[in-house]
């Protein structure tokens, strides 16, 4: 195979709603270019991109898969990204290395939530974009309505380039508006030229006029030519103008077809080759210095190479590191320094990947995407260089995960295996978070949603041989006092020989510091100074368990003001015990209360859904603090506070309310008193659990 140059590379990520046909489109592109010898089906688990066992079992994509397509001397690195919202981490990884995005839309369903989110992602990322309206062979397909819907949602940049042709209500062909060539519709029909049915004339005139007007807006020269004679614009001029419009974001071309029938796919690949930017159009890459300041680093096809690792796949056999060559040419055997770890890594073998198939290559040009194995000190988001840059490339920012579950092992003594397995899965998917909470004694995992965590459960079993259940996480409650008390704690014991004697009088009151504020006002040496630390230590140990439900005590002030001692029998241990006795009695008399952690929450959602979200917070004992419009059209951010105990499944409810359009951030704010009726149940449950233990 001839050496691939940077000018002949197109990195294209497929985005869109789940089941709109992204994987089928990648499969069609591979099949038509002899990248595969059979046309696979996602439902049957026979596609190149959905090769993982979990993907085959579920019938949809879980991770971004690479499918290089070689078409007319151009290498199109297709990145098939998942449509399910639980796997947005895969989408941001793919966007980081893509030069353009192709948003796949269902011709029947039109703009769906996944379409909106894809548009939001490419807009936020500044990624050139185009649309492919798929499934135009569906009897209920409505291309013209979908175009209007897209323009309402995404603006005037939406510009049809290939449209379906109808006859008697049936799709019979496709028209390329660039050169006005019409081909048949149906398997094997696209290569056949057809006459345009007359009933399409008005549609064609409108769409062609819109295309020429959009093209004319890309340069003064074309504008003058357009005003003189619109029909004088050549196909090459139009294609070049669309290329410029795609690059700047002024034009988002729309194509039509059917991936499963292979219709419109060759034309799509022509448009990708002719109008999508190659890596050469990115004159620089964003780098970040140690202080977080961003700047541009120039890129070149020659010179010292530098790469960016955007994805890791790890299992019990090792790990594969997927990377993009950011500058220079990477040759097999090159040694690169990792700017994060400071260690050098040798790229003994480099590969291109098509699904799960690995093909070893001697070199990769600037802008190309590859994979290597056995890197020791390299992870996702790392920059490795042989001098191509001295600053790290801008890292991928992953969506935060707040849907948390507790892990319960089905087997005995498998906690270490579970932790090791999850650590491997986090290498693959940095949106996962894991902690072993020493207070609640639970292993906790957080993800984007229930489907993602269900996949984690399945992969732990299939890859690492451990079975788990996921349950509701425990809440780290606290206890404190709201009143005051004055008590005596006296420990006296005689059992032959030296006895034990400690006697303290302590005043308890609410403290201003989170822990224990220990004050000594003893007069006359009734409690000698050498026993003061023992009293404090006794209180600190006792504070690990409150008197209501056994939760740690916070904000406690204790004033040791009196007591007594015995010359022989008093000891540090005796005074520790005396202090704990005073603690138990003193807290019980000082109006003890249960505290719960409260979080501040920011919810970003369409304005017309804010009312339902406010209602959801009310039912979760939350407080709405205010609402503010965001920079996005029709979106507001709702600020609220709510008990963390009530927020464990909020991610699922928010997705249901907003159909996936909403997202939120959450952070711990403070502890607050638990309402009496809720506290009663928590205390009763704690006592029942203590009795069981």
Over 591-604, what HEC string results?
CEEEEEEEEEEEEE
Q: Is 282's pLDDT higher than 90?
A: no
- Residue range(s) of every CATH 2.40.30.10 domain in the chain: 284-393
Do 287 and 293 meet the contact criterion of CB atoms below 8 Å apart?
no
- The predicted pLDDT at position 136 comes to 95
- The predicted pLDDT at position 692 comes to 66
Q: What angle do CA 68, 70, 74 make, to 5 degrees?
A: 110
- The predicted pLDDT at position 110 comes to 96
3-state secondary structure of 360: strand
Do 68 and 352 meet the contact criterion of CB atoms below 8 Å apart?
yes
In the chain, the percentage of residues whose pLDDT exceeds 70 is 98
Q: Is 615's pLDDT higher than 80?
A: yes
- The predicted pLDDT at position 238 comes to 92
Which helix (H) or strand (E) covers residue 406, if one does?
strand 403-409
* Lowest mean pLDDT across 38-47, 123-132, 583-592: 38-47
Q: Which residue is it, tokens 């009196």?
A: 562
Q: Is 316's pLDDT higher than 90?
A: no
Strands (E), 268-317: 284-288, 294-298, 306-315
Identify the CA nearest to 119 among candidates 148, 158, 93. Answer: 158
Task: Supply 577's token pair.
Answer: 């015990």
Cα(158)–Cα(214) distance, integer angstroms: 9
- The predicted pLDDT at position 605 comes to 96
Task: Supply 423's token pair.
Answer: 């650590």
What's the CATH code, domain 479-590?
3.30.230.10
- Starting at the edge strand found earlier in the chain, the sheet holding 392-393 runs 294-298, 284-288, 392-393
Per-chain mean pLDDT for the chain: 93
Tens-digit pLDDT profile for residues 150-201: 999 999 999 999 999 999 989 999 999 999 999 999 876 667 899 999 999 9
Confidence of residue 683 (pLDDT cuts 50, 70, 90): very high
Cα(548)–Cα(85) distance, integer angstroms: 42
Q: Are strands 294-298 and 284-288 parallel, antiparallel or unpaired?
A: antiparallel
The number of CA neighbours under 13 Å toward the Cβ of 446 is 18
Q: Is 1's pLDDT higher than 60?
A: no
- The predicted pLDDT at position 405 comes to 96
Q: What is the mean pLDDT of residues 483-499?
A: 87
Between 43 and 379, the more confident residue is: 379
Do 383 and 368 meet the contact criterion of CB atoms below 8 Å apart?
no
Q: What is the mean pLDDT of residues 82-98?
A: 96
3-state secondary structure of 294: strand
- The predicted pLDDT at position 598 comes to 97
Do 16 and 105 meet the contact criterion of CB atoms below 8 Å apart?
yes
Cα(476)–Cα(596) distance, integer angstroms: 7
Do 478 and 552 meet the contact criterion of CB atoms below 8 Å apart?
yes
What CATH class is the domain 403-471?
Answer: alpha beta
3-state secondary structure of 385: strand
Helices (H), 7-165: 22-32, 53-58, 88-97, 113-125, 143-154
* Lowest mean pLDDT across 13-27, 488-502, 536-550: 488-502
Task: Supply 84's token pair.
Answer: 């399910």
| Superfamily, domain 284-393 | Translation factors (2.40.30.10)
- Residue range(s) of every CATH 3.30.70.870 domain in the chain: 403-471
Q: What is the mean pLDDT of residues 363-388?
A: 95
Do 309 and 380 meet the contact criterion of CB atoms below 8 Å apart?
yes
3-state secondary structure of 394: coil
Identify the CA nearest to 163 among candidates 257, 271, 251. Answer: 257
In DSSP notation, 487-543 reads EEEEEEE-SSSS-EEEEEEEEEEE-SSSSEEEEE---TTSS-GGGHHHHHHHHHHHT
Q: Are strands 383-385 and 334-338 parallel, antiparallel or unpaired?
A: antiparallel
Contacts of 509 (CB under 8 A, 6+ apart): 481, 483, 484, 557, 559, 590
* Lowest mean pLDDT across 64-78, 485-499, 621-635: 485-499
Please state the pTM of the whole predicted model: 0.90
Q: What is the mean pLDDT of residues 341-345?
A: 94
Q: Partners of 560 in the beta sheet?
A: 506, 520
Tens-digit pLDDT profile for residues 400-455: 999 999 999 998 889 999 999 999 999 999 999 999 999 889 999 999 999 999 99
- Annotation: CATH topology of 7-281: Rossmann fold (3.40.50)
In DSSP notation, 541-566 reads HHTTS-SSSSPPB-SEEEEEEEEE--
- Identify the burial level of 448 via C-beta atoms within 10 angstroms of its C-beta, where 0-12 means exposed, 13-18 middle and 19 or more buried: buried
3-state secondary structure of 352: strand
- Annotation: CATH topology of 594-678: Alpha-Beta Plaits (3.30.70)
For the chain, helix, strand, coil in percent to 5 are: 30, 35, 35
b/e for 462-477, b at 16 or more Cβ within 10 A? ebbebebebeebebbb
Strands (E), 568-622: 592-606
- Residue range(s) of every CATH 3.40.50.300 domain in the chain: 7-281
Cα(538)–Cα(72) distance, integer angstroms: 80
Q: Partners of 663 in the beta sheet?
A: 604
Q: Is 269's pLDDT higher than 90?
A: yes
Cα torsion through 179, 181, 187, 188, rounded to 10: -100
- Residue range(s) of every CATH 3.30.230.10 domain in the chain: 479-590
Identify the CA nearest to 371 among candidates 449, 313, 416. Answer: 313
Task: Supply 139's token pair.
Answer: 């009897």
Which helix (H) or strand (E) covers residue 7, if one does?
none
Q: What is the mean pLDDT of residues 457-474?
A: 94
- The predicted pLDDT at position 359 comes to 95
Task: Supply 13's token pair.
Answer: 């990520």
Helices (H), 174-290: 201-216, 220-228, 235-248, 265-275
């Amino acid at each position: 195979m001839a050496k691939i140059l940077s000018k002949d590379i197109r990195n294209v990520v497929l985005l869109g709603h789940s089941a709109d046909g992204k994987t089928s489109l990648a499969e069609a592109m591979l099949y038509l270019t002899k990248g595969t010898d059979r046309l696979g089906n996602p439902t049957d688990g026979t596609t190149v991109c959905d090769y993982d066992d979990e993907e085959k079992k579920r019938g949809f994509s879980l991770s971004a898969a690479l499918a290089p397509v070689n078409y007319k001397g151009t290498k199109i690195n297709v990145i098939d990204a998942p449509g399910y919202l639980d796997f947005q981490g895969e989408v941001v990884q793919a966007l980081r290395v893509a030069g353009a995005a192709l948003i796949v839309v269902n011709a029947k369903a039109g703009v769906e939530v996944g379409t909106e989110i894809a548009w939001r992602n490419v807009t936020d990322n500044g990624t050139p974009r185009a649309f492919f309206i798929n499934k135009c062979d569906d009897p209920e397909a409505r291309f013209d309505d979908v175009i209007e819907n897209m323009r309402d949602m995404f603006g005037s940049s939406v510009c049809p380039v290939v449209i379906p042709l109808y006859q008697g209500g049936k799709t019979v062909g496709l028209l390329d508006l660039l050169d006005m060539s019409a081909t048949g519709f149906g398997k094997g029909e696209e290569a056949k030229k057809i006459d345009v049915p007359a009933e399409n004339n008005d549609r064609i005139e409108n769409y062609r006029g819109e295309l020429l007007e959009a093209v004319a807006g890309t340069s003064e020269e074309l504008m003058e030519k357009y005003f003189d004679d619109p029909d004088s614009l050549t196909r090459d001029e139009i294609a070049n103008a669309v290329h410029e419009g795609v690059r700047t974001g002024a034009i988002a071309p729309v194509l039509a077809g059917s991936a499963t029938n292979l219709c419109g796919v060759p034309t799509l690949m022509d448009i990708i080759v002719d109008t999508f930017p190659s890596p050469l159009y990115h004159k620089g890459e964003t780098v970040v210095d140690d202080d977080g300041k961003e700047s541009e680093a120039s890129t070149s096809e020659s010179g010292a190479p530098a790469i960016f690792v955007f994805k890791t796949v790890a299992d019990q056999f090792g790990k594969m590191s997927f990377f993009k060559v950011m500058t220079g040419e990477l040759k097999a055997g090159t040694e690169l320094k990792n700017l994060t770890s400071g260690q050098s890594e040798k790229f003994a073998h480099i590969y291109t990947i098509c699904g799960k198939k690995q093909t070893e290559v001697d070199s990769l040009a600037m802008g190309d995407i590859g994979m290597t194995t056995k890197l020791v000190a390299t992870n996702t988001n790392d920059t490795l260089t042989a001098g191509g840059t001295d600053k790290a490339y801008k890292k991928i920012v992953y969506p935060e995960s707040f849907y948390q579950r507790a892990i319960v092992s089905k087997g005995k003594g498998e906690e270490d295996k579970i932790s090791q397995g999850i650590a491997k899965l986090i290498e693959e998917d940095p949106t996962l978070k894991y902690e072993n909470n020493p207070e609640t004694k639970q292993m906790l995992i957080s993800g984007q949603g229930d489907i993602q965590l269900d996949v984690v459960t399945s992969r732990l079993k299939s890859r690492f041989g451990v079975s788990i259940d996921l349950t509701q996480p425990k809440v780290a409650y606290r206890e404190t006092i709201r009143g005051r008390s004055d008590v005596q704690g006296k420990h006296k014991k005689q059992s032959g020989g030296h006895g034990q004697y400690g006697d303290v009088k302590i005043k308890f009151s609410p403290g201003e510091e989170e822990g224990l504020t220990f004050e000594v006002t003893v007069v006359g040496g009734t409690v000698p100074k050498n026993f003061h630390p023992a009293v404090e230590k006794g209180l600190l140990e006792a504070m690990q368990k409150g008197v209501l439900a056994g939760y740690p005590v916070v904000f406690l002030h204790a004033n040791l003001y009196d007591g007594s001692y015995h010359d022989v029998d008093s000891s540090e241990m005796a005074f520790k015990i005396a202090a704990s006795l005073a603690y138990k009695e003193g807290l019980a008399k000082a109006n003890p209360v249960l505290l719960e952690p409260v979080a501040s929450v920011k919810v970003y959602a369409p304005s017309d859904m804010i009312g339902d979200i406010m209602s959801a917070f009310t039912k979760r004992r939350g407080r709405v603090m205010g609402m503010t419009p965001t920079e996005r059209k029709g979106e507001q951010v709702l600020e609220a506070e709510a008990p963390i105990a009530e927020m464990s499944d909020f991610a699922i409810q928010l997705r249901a309310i907003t159909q996936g359009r909403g997202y939120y951030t959450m952070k711990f704010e403070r502890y607050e008193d638990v309402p009496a009726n809720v506290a009663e149940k928590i205390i009763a449950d704690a006592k029942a659990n203590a009795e069981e233990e």
